[in-house]
Structure 1
Amino acid sequence: MDKKIVKEWSTRRRVLTIITCLFVLIYLGIVLYHTYKPLPAGISHDGTLYRTDNVEMLTDLTYSQDRSKDSMVHELQIFDEVFSMIERAEEFVVADFFLYNAFYDEKEDFPELSRTLTDRLVQKKKDHPGMPVILITDPVNNGYGSYESEEIRRLEDAGIEVVVTALDPLRDSTPIYSGVYRILFQWWGEDGKGWLPNPMAEDAPKMTARSYLKLLNVKANHRKVIATEKGVLVNSGNPHDASGWHGNVAFKTDGPVINDVLEAEEAVSRYSGGPETFPRAEVDETPEGVYGVQYVTERPILDHLLEDIGKAGKGDEVWLGMFYLAKRDVLSALVEAAERGAQVRIILDPNENAFGNKKTGLPNMPVAEELIEDSEDRIEIRFYNAVIGQYHTKLVYVKDGDEAYISSGAANMTERALDDYNLEANLRIEAPADSPLAAELDAYFNRLWNNEDALYTLEAEEKLDGFAQAQRVVYGLQKLLKLTTY
């Protein structure tokens, strides 16, 4: 071969190698930076512990007397209270909800939560034009920029401030994909005429390819909270019609914690281009009160949770009611609590249904197997009998001698929720173990665990029997590569 040709090929290979190495270095740099970059100011909020005499537990439960839809019963409290809070508000309403739309494909008559919430907020603004009414939500509700939802349009037409959360400034929880997205796709934007089917529902507005590329980053403002001058409600449920029959839990309280919530929500609005300042409630910061209440978001949820579970030992109790359980730190803490002699009982969603679509049981099925094995059967697990919807609760309850510690709200026990990726919000509560609130939690968990008046939960073995071991391999790969939706 001609020496000149050989030299040219050698030069081209060197250039290609240099370009490839530069791309890899840039890619790795982008991945590392956006995985660990500084969070926007005010995110990962670790609120002050305040005292109050007023903490109320609210629950939504859908259950069956057997295993069929024919005997379904719906006990729904949470959004009735949300609507009442809006009606009673006299100074301001600030809400932050993840899923807020009416899109679904299932053949069921779900509660019209999105329309009712919109009606109540619009009516409040109409009756009190000067009152601040602010809604923060996630871009999933506008198809990541592909369209404007009817709910958002109605709120904005009524003069309500709607803040669609900016997700790009948050850390990347799927770094392998997000690195490629940030190099190649983020510059294209999302606007345009949609032509791809909407994953929310067949009749939902079409989405652009660019919006789909953004969706694949799997980032979210996953919070569910509403505050007025009279109180605050921190919730696991969404004002999304097809979520109306999910099992959920909320806690409502009052006092100075209201302003902690407003401060944390103000931070999301500020970095997302919304109002710079939110109103504040005039409350007495009294040290008195039966209960301690604390508003925590993102990583501080995990920090307090590990500390509280770490207190449980011989004779103590740890209860979990959880939609997703996969965070390794939490799993280790539960096993260690069981080894110290605490009774650890967990109710999990089977992760088999998502708005009419069949799911594979990940992550809860393999996690349940692991916990039972690692604890040498000390940890007891039951799966919720989710005939319709999901057991969407995110509730941890620790009884340590004379004290009880509760954490509940938006956060699943997953890496995406607890490692400063998603925006999450929980209310942490300290209560005497003999308090009315602790008694209510005891009654709630015992009702479900013992199937006191319906078939709420099933033995873990029944669900795990025949569970494909290959799914444990898939689960392991998902954890390793951080390619999950949970």
Structure 2
Amino acid sequence: MIIGVLILFFIFIPLTVGVLVHFRDTPENISYESDTYTTDSVEFLYDLTYADEEGEETHEQEIFDEIFQMIDEAEDFLLIDMFLFNDDYDHGDPELDFPQLSRELSDALIHKKAQNPDMEIIFITDPINTFYRTYLPPHIEDMKRAGIQVHQTDLDPLRDSNPLYSSFYRSYLQWFGDSRAGWLPNVLRPEGPEVNLRSYFSMLNFKANHRKTIMHESAAIITSANPHDASFYHSNTAFKVGGPVLEDLMVSERAVLDMAGVDTEVFDGFDIDTGDETGEYEVQLVTESRIKVQMLEMIEGTGAGDAIRTGIFYISDRDVIQALKDALDRGVEVQMVLDVNQDAFGNEKIGIPNKPVAAELMDHENPPEIRWYESHGEQYHAKFMMAETDGEVTVTAGTTNFTRRNLDDYNLETNLVVSGGEDTELMTEIMEYYERIWDNEEGTYTSDYDVHSEDIWWKNILYRIQENLGTSTF
């Protein structure tokens, strides 16, 4: 009898906690949508890894070049929010050798602070970079020592993407707290430093501050690129923007620190140059689930003769997949460039979720056109969608994978939505980027669907279980 009661409470308490967390309110200014502004101050940036016409691996990179330039140009403040900010990978693998991007970025910020001691530099990041508060990497420790505000995001106020585990974690495991003790192997960096059970307890919640933004008083970059050494050669996209939308970006980033209980009074002293509020482009900032709302509206707003073109690292969200099927049934042309999901920093992956989703879409009565981005060990890490309707083009791009975790208020995410005429300079540039990789212009970027197609029953089932229950990292 007593054992039965104990088992009942052991199940009942996590179940109750899980329900309460699922229906909790989103923290203020998390899941944020700005007004729509007009501006000419918006640029498209990209990084590409591909094989040139001679078959040599080639890298074109713009994003972090522009980020370093922004750091140099900042005069009043710098506000940065980056997910992966470390040199974690298997340094013992002789085939893995990457530039020290995380150290270069930290050194640039330290140098900026030394030149401008009174400038506020605020750096927000995810607990994954300290293996969930087990240790402090040297480059982050150096930044704090230099007077830069470094804040790890408190993920606890967010809903739980992995509720079967997280409800148990919240009920019983979180009370063990954090620890600097290390005695277990570090799965992110095999040669150390060692970590502990509490670190793994936190990691298995599978949620993150996945944002990748930087802003100063007159410009911001919202990107899919991480300042992570092993991510250096990934193919990514970004928007650089100015104007009044910067005030909204600051509101959304301030909310992350408010959620962690950080005193954000310093933000009141930041002066933003909103510039001229006129131009030929419309821009809007969206975060978290507001990205999904806007994305679905983009898809649902297309009809026969229109086109949707995507470049995607992960796609798994069932609502987005169904919306694409409905668009195909309306006669919309849908093109998709997908990552093969086979490489992750030297570790082999099994193609989930993109291969099962691609097979499902190709089995649809009106299938899309799908091409795979050819990997050389790196990832096609872009996350964008472009809708072409009646001479207008709308693009959503930023940090957000097309997955339940990224779109349903589990992770922190930021996207910029940009609209303009198809003949404008910006939209022409974006469409030329897409046509370049789709048509393999002056190099090899993508391959036909059949090259990497796969329809394996157990992978299809595994993808559905992982997507619905949140038991994976996508």
TM-score normalized by the length of structure 1? 0.93
Q: Deviations over 1:289-333 (max 9, x none)?
A: 111111111000010111111111111110100000011111111
Question: Residue 352 and residue 126 in structure 1: after superposition, are their counterparts in 2 closer, same or farther (change >3 A)?
Answer: same
Secondary structure of 1:62's match? strand
TM superposition shift of 1:42: 1.6
Equivalent residue, structure 2, for 1:10: none
Q: Distance in 2 between matches of 1:48 and 1:232?
A: 17
TM superposition shift of 1:439: 0.6
Equivalent residue, structure 2, for 1:321: 311
Work out whether 1:172 is the aligned partner of 2:141: no
Equivalent residue, structure 2, for 1:97: 82
Q: Distance in 1 between matches of 2:423 and 2:300?
A: 21
Equivalent residue, structure 2, for 1:460: 449
Q: Report the RMSD for the aligned CA atoms in angstroms.
A: 1.6
2:376 aligns with one of 387, 410, 425: 387
Work out whether 1:418 is the aligned partner of 2:407: yes
Decide whether the 8 Å contact of 2:243 with 2:277 is kept in 1: no
Secondary structure of 1:144's match? coil
Q: Distance in 1 between matches of 2:367 and 2:161?
A: 33
Q: Distance in 2 between matches of 1:315 and 1:444?
A: 21
Equivalent residue, structure 2, for 1:9: none
Equivalent residue, structure 2, for 1:205: 193
Equivalent residue, structure 2, for 1:127: 115
Q: Distance in 2 between matches of 1:410 and 1:87?
A: 24
Work out whether 1:338 is the aligned partner of 2:328: yes
Runs of 4+ aligned structure 1 residues displaced above 4 Å come to 284-287
Equivalent residue, structure 2, for 1:50: 37
1:372 aligns with one of 358, 362, 369: 362
Query: Match for 1:25: what amino acid?
Result: F
Q: Distance in 1 between matches of 2:128 and 2:212?
A: 14
Decide whether the 8 Å contact of 1:100 with 1:114 is kept in 2: yes
TM superposition shift of 1:477: 2.1
Decide whether the 8 Å contact of 1:44 with 1:299 is kept in 2: yes
Work out whether 1:248 is the aligned partner of 2:248: no
2:220 aligns with one of 232, 239, 244: 232
Secondary structure of 2:132's match? helix
TM superposition shift of 1:286: 4.8
Decide whether the 8 Å contact of 1:104 with 1:355 is kept in 2: yes
Decide whether the 8 Å contact of 1:258 with 1:281 is kept in 2: no
Secondary structure of 1:18's match? helix
Q: Distance in 1 between matches of 2:373 and 2:385?
A: 16
Equivalent residue, structure 1, for 2:72: 87
Decide whether the 8 Å contact of 1:190 with 1:208 is kept in 2: no
Question: Residue 23 and residue 135 in structure 1: after superposition, are their counterparts in 2 closer, same or farther (change >3 A)?
Answer: same
Greater shift, 284-293 or 299-308, is seen at: 284-293
Q: Distance in 2 between matches of 1:282 and 1:425?
A: 19
Decide whether the 8 Å contact of 2:47 with 2:63 is kept in 1: yes
Decide whether the 8 Å contact of 2:96 with 2:346 is kept in 1: no
Aligned length: 469
1:479 aligns with one of 463, 467, 472: 467
Q: Deviations over 1:99-123 (max 9, x none)?
A: 0011222534322211111111111
Decide whether the 8 Å contact of 2:43 with 2:426 is kept in 1: yes
Query: Match for 1:331: what amino acid?
Result: I
Work out whether 1:186 is the aligned partner of 2:174: yes
Decide whether the 8 Å contact of 1:266 with 1:275 is kept in 2: no
Greater shift, 19-28 or 400-409, is seen at: 19-28
Query: Match for 2:51: what amino acid?
Result: S
TM superposition shift of 1:426: 0.6
Q: Deviations over 1:247-293 (max 9, x none)?
A: 10000010111111111101101221334132433334754211111
Equivalent residue, structure 2, for 1:304: 294
Equivalent residue, structure 1, for 2:48: 61
Work out whether 1:450 is the aligned partner of 2:439: yes
Q: Structure 2: any 5+ residue segments left out of the alignment?
A: none
Q: Distance in 1 between matches of 2:258 and 2:22?
A: 22
Q: Distance in 1 between matches of 2:67 and 2:159?
A: 31
Secondary structure of 1:145's match? coil
Q: Deviations over 1:206-248 (max 9, x none)?
A: 1111111110111100000000012010000000011000010
Query: Match for 1:87: what amino acid?
Result: D
Equivalent residue, structure 1, for 2:21: 34
2:210 aligns with one of 219, 222, 226: 222
Equivalent residue, structure 2, for 1:354: 344
Decide whether the 8 Å contact of 1:103 with 1:203 is kept in 2: no
Decide whether the 8 Å contact of 2:218 with 2:274 is kept in 1: no
Greater shift, 279-288 or 80-89, is seen at: 279-288
Decide whether the 8 Å contact of 1:330 with 1:413 is kept in 2: yes
TM superposition shift of 1:440: 0.9
Decide whether the 8 Å contact of 2:316 with 2:467 is kept in 1: no
Query: Match for 2:84: what amino acid?
Result: L
Decide whether the 8 Å contact of 2:371 with 2:449 is kept in 1: yes
TM superposition shift of 1:476: 2.1
- Percent of pairs identical after alignment? 42
TM superposition shift of 1:141: 0.5
